[in-house]
């Protein structure tokens, strides 16, 4: 059986990472018809948009995409393509495994970290409901809020104040918490921890915590607990072995997933999947690292492991297991790995992106 999959090649180091991941997935023997699509700053220079409609059409058709990193300028430029894809395609859940592989440099190598972060993708402060300082509508919004019969006031003026709205709903919380519990049940996990800041934000995070607690009652076979987000960060650094599946609102999930990646060796080891009722997009957690573009230097593991998650999604469990084992074997041997996976980052024996991918393919017999 051949699967139709969209391959979004990205920008910066994205195209070379996409090439490496594609080779490794193909080396498993699973037959995939790749529909290669461009997105990001490179295609924007050609056609005037970083996300051509052809990309969206392809993903809607295949319902499955492997996406290489895409640049999001900080503070200026176009809106995040990642956020746009998730919202347009209804990809409400972002699942980010943080698993330690022997051979990776980490302060937590003896602990054997293996946690899964389930992040809500469409609500919270990342919903994009923002008002720019100095705009008339921002002043109108502030005036409206200050006119309400409440002691909650914005004390600064519209010309100097930007405003972001934090929408969180019962239905959005229900589906992400159910997703976390269903993932735990399907994958033999024992506990789900809901992470929040309900002690301060009582009407948004408070609603999230109340709803999560109610949903947890539907899964009596899975242990449930809750943690305040700042305490959760401390707990993960002190004793990550106590945690299993974490479910978080959008912003906290973004931050804590990077913390989780740090526990297991960095963003180069952090794959991810974005799931919705009509499709899935698989991507590395890290960015496009444009300063390394064309240098054949960056670690391809995160995107290759995202390809592994994609194979699991397609039901190709044996191929996914073999790919993960091949990645783990190459890392543990420590010979054909990129500079960041060497004990000494200046080690001249470090190989490039494509060479590491080739070593993984060799382990697969490809």
Domain positions in the chain: 1-91+271-366, 114-124+167-263, 130-164
Q: Is the pLDDT of residue 288 over 60?
A: yes
SS3 letters for the chain? CEEEEEEECCCCCHHHHHHHHHHHHHHCCCEEEEEEECCCHHHHHHHCCCCCHHHHHHHHHHCEEEECCCCCCCCCCCCCHHHHHHHHCCCCEEEEEEECCCCCCCCCCCCCCEEEEEEECCCHHHHCCEECCCCHHHHHHHHHHHHCCCCCCCCCCHHHCCEECCCCCHHHHHHHHHHHHHHHHHCCCCEEEEEECCCCCCCCHHHHHHHHHHHHCCCCCCEEEEEEHHHHHHHHHHCHHHCCEEEECHHHHHHHHHHHHHHCCCHHHCEEEEEECCEEEEEECCCCCHHHCCCCCCCCHHHHHHHHHHHHHCCCHHHHHHHHHHHHHHHHHCCCCCHHHCCCCCCCCCCCHHHHHHHHHHHHCC
- As a whole number of angstroms, the distance between CA 282 and CA 310 comes to 6
- As a whole number of angstroms, the distance between CA 97 and CA 306 comes to 10
Q: Is the pLDDT of residue 181 over 90?
A: yes
- As a whole number of angstroms, the distance between CA 44 and CA 78 comes to 10
- As a whole number of angstroms, the distance between CA 194 and CA 248 comes to 6
Per-residue pLDDT tens for 294-323?
Answer: 999 999 999 999 999 999 999 999 999 999
- As a whole number of angstroms, the distance between CA 102 and CA 346 comes to 20
* Mean pLDDT confidence for 14-25: 97
Quote the Cα angle for 350-355-360, to 5°.
110
Range scoring the smallest mean pLDDT among 123-127, 214-218, 338-342, 343-347: 343-347
- As a whole number of angstroms, the distance between CA 205 and CA 250 comes to 11
Return the biggest CA–CA distance within the chain.
Answer: 70
Q: Is the pLDDT of residue 24 over 90?
A: yes
How far lies 263's CA from each of 110, 112, 240, 256, 326, in Å? 11, 10, 8, 11, 22
Q: Is the pLDDT of residue 69 over 50?
A: yes
CATH number of the 1-91+271-366 domain? 3.40.718.10
- As a whole number of angstroms, the distance between CA 289 and CA 259 comes to 19
Q: Is the pLDDT of residue 78 over 60?
A: no
Among all residues, which ones are annotated catalytic?
Answer: 126, 197, 230, 254
> Residue 75 has what pLDDT?
46
> Residue 347 has what pLDDT?
85
Q: What is the pTM of this model?
A: 0.91
* CATH entry 3.90.1200.10 includes domain 114-124+167-263: no
Q: Is the pLDDT of residue 271 over 80?
A: yes
Among residues 120, 144, 279, the alpha carbon closest in space to that of 215 is found at 120
Q: Is the pLDDT of residue 258 over 70?
A: yes
- As a whole number of angstroms, the distance between CA 47 and CA 61 comes to 22
Q: Is the pLDDT of residue 77 over 70?
A: no
- Torsional sign, CA 42, 306, 239, 175: positive
- As a whole number of angstroms, the distance between CA 352 and CA 358 comes to 10
């Amino acid at each position: 059986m051949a699967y139709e999959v969209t391959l979004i090649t990205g920008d910066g180091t994205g195209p070379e990472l996409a090439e490496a991941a594609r080779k490794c997935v193909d080396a498993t023997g699973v037959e995939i018809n790749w529909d290669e699509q461009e997105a990001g700053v490179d295609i924007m220079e050609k056609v005037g948009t970083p996300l051509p409609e052809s990309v969206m059409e392809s993903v809607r058709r295949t319902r499955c995409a492997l996406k290489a990193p895409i640049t999001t300028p900080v503070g200026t430029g176009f809106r995040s393509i990642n956020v746009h894809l998730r919202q347009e395609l209804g990809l409400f859940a972002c699942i980010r495994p943080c698993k330690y592989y022997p051979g990776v440099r980490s302060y937590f190598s003896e602990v054997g970290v293996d946690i899964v972060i389930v992040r809500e993708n469409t609500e919270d402060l990342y919903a994009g409901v923002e008002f720019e300082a100095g705009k008339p509508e921002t002043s109108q919004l502030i005036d409206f809020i200050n006119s309400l019969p409440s002691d909650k006031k914005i004390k600064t003026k519209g010309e100097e104040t930007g405003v972001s709205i934090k929408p969180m709903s019962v239905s959005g919380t229900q589906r992400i918490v159910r997703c976390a519990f269903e993932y735990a049940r399907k994958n033999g996990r024992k506990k789900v921890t809901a992470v929040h800041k309900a002690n301060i934000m009582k009407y948004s995070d408070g609603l999230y915590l109340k709803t999560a607690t109610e949903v947890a009652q539907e899964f009596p076979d899975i242990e449930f607990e809750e943690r305040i987000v700042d305490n959760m960060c401390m707990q993960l650094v002190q004793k990550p072995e106590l945690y299993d599946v974490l479910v978080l609102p959008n912003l906290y999930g973004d931050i804590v997933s990077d913390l989780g990646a740090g526990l297991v060796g960095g963003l180069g080891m952090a794959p991810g999947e974005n799931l919705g009722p009509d499709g899935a997009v698989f991507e590395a957690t890290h960015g496009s690292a444009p300063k390394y573009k064309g240098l054949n230097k960056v670690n391809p593991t995160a995107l290759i492991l995202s390809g592994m998650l994609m194979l699991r999604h397609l039901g190709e469990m044996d191929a996914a297991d073999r790919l993960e084992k091949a990645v783990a074997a190459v890392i543990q041997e420590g010979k054909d790995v990129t500079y960041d996976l060497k004990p000494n980052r200046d080690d001249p024996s470090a190989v490039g992106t494509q060479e590491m991918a080739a070593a993984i393919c060799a382990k697969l017999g490809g």
